[in-house]
Amino acid sequence: MEPDIPLCDCEKHIQRDFFKLRSPERETLKPSLICERDCELTVLREEIDKLRLKMLVSKEEHDQEKEQWLEEKNNVITYQKQLQLNYVQMFRKNKVLEAEGNS
């Protein structure tokens, strides 16, 4: 099953050529030209399939990296909140000790 990816201009061009080859005009072409065009189309379709696969792999890798980055970001934010809470607690204890020392 082909991935649901919009056709690029080059693929639209290939499809147009492909359908031209399947048209009645094709009967007037020399068999060698028909074979040559068929081979070109096959090579181009294979290249498109490879590029689609490469794009899907790249997208998957990007999504995984993004997910990992978000997880690490959340860990950092949690750590920073804990540090801030500890600082506020220490600040309050210092104030209490200073007040007791001044009394």
Is 2 a member of any domain? no
Per-residue pLDDT of the chain (103 residues; tens, 9 = 90+): 445 555 567 677 777 776 666 655 555 667 777 788 888 999 999 999 999 999 999 999 999 999 999 999 999 999 999 999 999 999 999 999 998 888 7
Reduce the DSSP state of residue 8 to 3 states and report it: coil
Using N-to-C axis directions, what is the helix angle for 31-102 and 9-21, rounded to 10°? 160
Structurally, how many domains does the chain consist of? 1
Look at the alpha carbons of 24, 28, 30, 36 in this order and tell me if their dihedral is positive or negative.
Answer: negative
Res 21: pLDDT: 62
Is 4 a member of any domain? no
Is 1 a member of any domain? no
Judge if pTM exceeds 0.75.
no
Is 13 a member of any domain? yes
Is 91 a member of any domain? yes
